[in-house]
Amino acid sequence: MLRKQISVSLQEALKAKNQTKTSTLRLILAALKDRDIAERSKGNDSGLNDDAILKLLQSMIKQRKESIEFYEKGNRLELADKEKEEINHIKNFLPKQLSENEVKTIVKSTISELGAKDVRDMGKVMSFLREKYSGQMDLSIAGKLLKEHLV
Protein backbone atom coordinates (compact mmCIF):
# COMPACT_ATOMS: atom_id res chain seq x y z
CA MET A 1 0.00 0.00 0.00
CA LEU A 2 2.64 2.53 1.07
CA ARG A 3 5.04 1.37 -1.61
CA LYS A 4 2.34 1.95 -4.24
CA GLN A 5 1.64 5.42 -2.82
CA ILE A 6 5.32 6.33 -3.08
CA SER A 7 5.50 5.09 -6.69
CA VAL A 8 2.40 7.08 -7.67
CA SER A 9 3.82 10.19 -5.99
CA LEU A 10 7.06 9.71 -7.92
CA GLN A 11 5.16 9.61 -11.20
CA GLU A 12 3.28 12.80 -10.24
CA ALA A 13 6.53 14.53 -9.24
CA LEU A 14 8.12 13.53 -12.56
CA LYS A 15 5.16 14.96 -14.48
CA ALA A 16 5.26 18.16 -12.41
CA LYS A 17 9.05 18.35 -12.90
CA ASN A 18 9.55 18.81 -9.17
CA GLN A 19 13.23 17.93 -8.91
CA THR A 20 13.60 17.85 -5.13
CA LYS A 21 10.51 15.70 -4.62
CA THR A 22 11.57 13.39 -7.44
CA SER A 23 15.04 12.85 -6.01
CA THR A 24 13.67 12.32 -2.49
CA LEU A 25 11.16 9.73 -3.68
CA ARG A 26 13.84 7.97 -5.69
CA LEU A 27 16.00 7.81 -2.55
CA ILE A 28 13.08 6.27 -0.66
CA LEU A 29 12.49 3.67 -3.37
CA ALA A 30 16.21 2.85 -3.52
CA ALA A 31 16.27 2.34 0.25
CA LEU A 32 13.20 0.11 -0.02
CA LYS A 33 14.86 -1.93 -2.73
CA ASP A 34 18.00 -2.34 -0.57
CA ARG A 35 15.93 -3.51 2.38
CA ASP A 36 13.94 -5.89 0.14
CA ILE A 37 17.18 -7.47 -1.07
CA ALA A 38 18.38 -7.83 2.52
CA GLU A 39 15.07 -9.45 3.47
CA ARG A 40 15.28 -11.87 0.54
CA SER A 41 18.69 -13.02 1.72
CA LYS A 42 17.07 -13.81 5.08
CA GLY A 43 14.40 -15.89 3.33
CA ASN A 44 11.58 -13.32 3.36
CA ASP A 45 10.54 -13.15 -0.31
CA SER A 46 7.49 -10.94 0.26
CA GLY A 47 9.60 -7.84 0.96
CA LEU A 48 8.89 -5.13 3.50
CA ASN A 49 5.44 -4.64 4.96
CA ASP A 50 3.96 -1.19 5.66
CA ASP A 51 5.19 -1.17 9.28
CA ALA A 52 8.77 -1.79 8.16
CA ILE A 53 8.41 0.91 5.50
CA LEU A 54 7.17 3.36 8.15
CA LYS A 55 10.21 2.58 10.30
CA LEU A 56 12.46 3.13 7.30
CA LEU A 57 10.83 6.51 6.58
CA GLN A 58 11.18 7.53 10.22
CA SER A 59 14.86 6.62 10.19
CA MET A 60 15.32 8.66 7.00
CA ILE A 61 13.75 11.66 8.73
CA LYS A 62 15.98 11.15 11.77
CA GLN A 63 19.07 11.07 9.53
CA ARG A 64 18.01 14.30 7.86
CA LYS A 65 17.38 16.02 11.20
CA GLU A 66 20.91 15.10 12.27
CA SER A 67 22.27 16.43 8.98
CA ILE A 68 20.36 19.69 9.46
CA GLU A 69 21.98 20.12 12.85
CA PHE A 70 25.47 19.67 11.38
CA TYR A 71 24.75 21.93 8.40
CA GLU A 72 23.47 24.70 10.66
CA LYS A 73 26.56 24.39 12.88
CA GLY A 74 28.71 24.62 9.77
CA ASN A 75 26.72 27.63 8.51
CA ARG A 76 25.55 25.69 5.40
CA LEU A 77 21.97 26.93 5.50
CA GLU A 78 21.20 26.10 1.85
CA LEU A 79 21.96 22.42 2.53
CA ALA A 80 19.92 22.53 5.74
CA ASP A 81 16.97 23.95 3.78
CA LYS A 82 17.29 21.15 1.23
CA GLU A 83 17.20 18.55 4.02
CA LYS A 84 14.13 20.24 5.56
CA GLU A 85 12.38 20.09 2.21
CA GLU A 86 13.20 16.38 1.92
CA ILE A 87 11.78 15.80 5.40
CA ASN A 88 8.52 17.44 4.32
CA HIS A 89 8.29 15.14 1.30
CA ILE A 90 8.96 12.06 3.44
CA LYS A 91 6.43 13.13 6.10
CA ASN A 92 3.66 12.97 3.48
CA PHE A 93 3.77 9.17 3.80
CA LEU A 94 3.69 9.00 7.59
CA PRO A 95 0.50 8.95 9.66
CA LYS A 96 -0.56 12.26 11.18
CA GLN A 97 1.77 13.08 14.05
CA LEU A 98 0.32 13.83 17.46
CA SER A 99 0.87 17.35 18.79
CA GLU A 100 3.10 17.94 21.79
CA ASN A 101 0.05 18.57 24.00
CA GLU A 102 -1.51 15.28 22.88
CA VAL A 103 1.78 13.49 23.57
CA LYS A 104 1.92 15.10 27.03
CA THR A 105 -1.62 13.90 27.81
CA ILE A 106 -0.87 10.38 26.57
CA VAL A 107 2.39 10.21 28.56
CA LYS A 108 0.63 11.28 31.77
CA SER A 109 -2.18 8.75 31.30
CA THR A 110 0.29 5.98 30.44
CA ILE A 111 2.35 6.71 33.56
CA SER A 112 -0.74 6.40 35.76
CA GLU A 113 -2.06 3.40 33.80
CA LEU A 114 1.19 1.45 34.16
CA GLY A 115 1.83 2.69 37.69
CA ALA A 116 5.27 4.08 36.81
CA LYS A 117 6.92 5.73 39.80
CA ASP A 118 10.51 6.61 38.89
CA VAL A 119 13.09 6.60 36.10
CA ARG A 120 13.56 2.83 36.41
CA ASP A 121 10.06 2.41 34.93
CA MET A 122 10.92 4.53 31.90
CA GLY A 123 11.74 1.54 29.68
CA LYS A 124 8.39 -0.07 30.40
CA VAL A 125 6.51 3.14 29.55
CA MET A 126 8.56 3.81 26.40
CA SER A 127 8.03 0.28 25.08
CA PHE A 128 4.28 0.64 25.69
CA LEU A 129 4.23 3.98 23.83
CA ARG A 130 6.36 2.58 21.00
CA GLU A 131 4.05 -0.39 20.59
CA LYS A 132 0.79 1.55 20.76
CA TYR A 133 1.69 4.83 19.02
CA SER A 134 4.41 3.80 16.57
CA GLY A 135 4.58 6.27 13.71
CA GLN A 136 2.15 8.70 15.32
CA MET A 137 4.33 10.05 18.09
CA ASP A 138 7.79 11.59 18.22
CA LEU A 139 9.32 9.31 20.84
CA SER A 140 12.13 11.76 21.60
CA ILE A 141 9.52 14.26 22.85
CA ALA A 142 7.82 11.48 24.81
CA GLY A 143 11.17 10.54 26.38
CA LYS A 144 11.84 14.12 27.49
CA LEU A 145 8.36 14.40 28.98
CA LEU A 146 8.82 11.08 30.76
CA LYS A 147 12.07 12.25 32.35
CA GLU A 148 10.26 15.36 33.63
CA HIS A 149 7.44 13.33 35.18
CA LEU A 150 9.47 10.39 36.51
CA VAL A 151 11.82 11.95 39.01
Both 8 and 29 in one domain: the answer is yes
Q: What is the DSSP string of 32-86?
A: HHHHHHHHHHTT-TT---HHHHHHHHHHHHHHHHHHHHHHHHTT-HHHHHHHHHH
Q: Tens digits of per-residue pLDDT, 108-120?
A: 899 888 888 888 8
- What integer pLDDT is reported at residue 116 of this predicted model? 83
Q: Which residues of the chain form beta strands (DSSP E)? A: none
CA-CA distance, 22 to 16, in Å (whole number)?
Answer: 9
Mean pLDDT of 72-98: 92
Q: What contacts 92, CB < 8 A, 6 or more positions away?
A: 9
Least confident of 28-32, 34-38, 68-72: 34-38
- Give the DSSP H/E element, type plus range, for residue 129: helix 122-133
Looking at 69, 91, 113, the residue that finishes a domain is: 91
Q: Rounded distance, CA 19 to CA 108, Å?
A: 43
- Domain, as residue range, for 144: 100-149
Q: What is the CATH number of the domain that holds 120?
A: 1.10.10.410
Residues 112 and 143 in one domain: yes
